[in-house]
Amino acid sequence: MDIFSADRRSRVFVYGTLKRGHANARQLEPPGTSVFVCEGVTEGKFVLLRGPPFGAPFLFECGPEGEECKCARPGYQVPGEIWEVDGEMLQKLDDFEGCPKYYKRVEVQ
C-alpha cells in the first residue's frame, strides 16, 4: 500500500509551530484526516538550529549517549505531539514542510 494512500494511517510526531495552539497548527486541518493521539517527547536527543533559506528551525540528531554531537552543541529531548494521519494529510504536511528538499521525515522513538 502506498504511504500516501487515503486508507493508510501513519503516526507523526510534530514539534514547534505545528503543535496545537501554535501558528501552523491549521496545517493539521482538512483536507486530509488527522487525529490527536497524545503529547510526547523524543527518546533521542536533538539540537535545534535555525537555517536557510527562511530562518526556519531544524532538528539535528545527536549521536548515542556519551558520543559527542556532530554540531558540537548539547542535545535535548524534544517535546511535541503525536498525530494519526491519513495519506492525504501526510502528503499535505510533506508539501508544507518542503520535504524532502528542506526537511527529511525520519522515524523517531
Sheet strands side by side (includes 9-14):
9-14, 79-86, 34-41
Say how far apart CA 41 and CA 90 lie, in whole Å. 20
As a whole number of angstroms, the distance between CA 53 and CA 75 comes to 23
Catalytic residue among 43, 61, 65, 97: 97
> Is 97 considered catalytic here?
yes
Write the CA distances from 2 to 22, 43, 90, 93, integer angstroms.
30, 28, 11, 16
CB 51 within 8 A of CB 98: no
Active-site annotation, residues: 97
